[in-house]
Amino acid sequence: MTERPVSGLTNWTFSEINTASLESGTSYYITARAEDNAGNPQSDINNRGNQEDWFNIRGSTFTFDNTPPISRIEFPANNGAYNTPFTIISGTSVDETAGVGKVEVSIQNITDSGYPYWNGSIWVLTRLKYGLQFLLQELVVRL
C-alpha cells in the first residue's frame, strides 16, 4: 500500500491521480487518514487509540466509467417506408457499467427546406441541444 501526500489539511485535495490509468468498469476504493502535529495517528472508529485500518467504513468506493452508453432505434426501421400513421417510436439503450441515465430522441424532417426538427408540438428550425437523431422522410403524429 502506498501512502501519498495531499495538498491542504482541514480541506485537502489529492492531485496525483491520472484517470488515463484507471480502467473503465473497474471499482476503486479510497481511504484517507490523518496524523496531528504531535504525531498521533487517526484512531479507529471505536477510538481504541490504534491506527485506523486502511479498509474502513470512512473510505469511499467508486466505479470509473468512461465508456458511453449505446442506444438505437428499433421502430421505425432504418430506411423503412410506412403508409399508415404511427404514434410510437421505440428503441433500446444499454450501459454495462453505470446504467442508462436518460434517453432523448430528436426527429428531423429531411424533405422540407431548412430540415426542421419536431419540438413535441410543431416543426421548428432549431435543433434540440441533445438527442438521438434519426432521419425520417415523413412522420405523422396523432395526439
- Measure the CA–CA gap between 25 and 115, rounded to whole angstroms: 39
The pLDDT of residue 47 is 55
Q: Kindly report, residue by residue over 53-77, the tens digit of the pLDDT.
A: 556 666 788 999 999 999 999 999 9
The pLDDT of residue 100 is 93
The pLDDT of residue 94 is 95
pTM to 2 decimal places: 0.58
**If we measure between CA atoms, which residue out of 108, 142, 134 comes closest to residue 123?**
108
- Measure the CA–CA gap between 106 and 68, rounded to whole angstroms: 18
The pLDDT of residue 2 is 62
SS3 (DSSP) at 41 = strand
Residue 41 contacts residue 51 (beta carbons within 8 Å): yes
Count CB atoms within 10 A of the CB of residue 108.
Answer: 19
Higher pLDDT, 133 or 41: 41
Half-sphere exposure of 91 (CA within 13 A, CB side): 19
When pLDDT is averaged across residues 8-37 and rounded to a whole number, the result is 83
The pLDDT of residue 24 is 92
- Taking CA 131 as the corner, what is the angle to CA 136 and CA 84, rounded to the nearest 5 degrees? 25
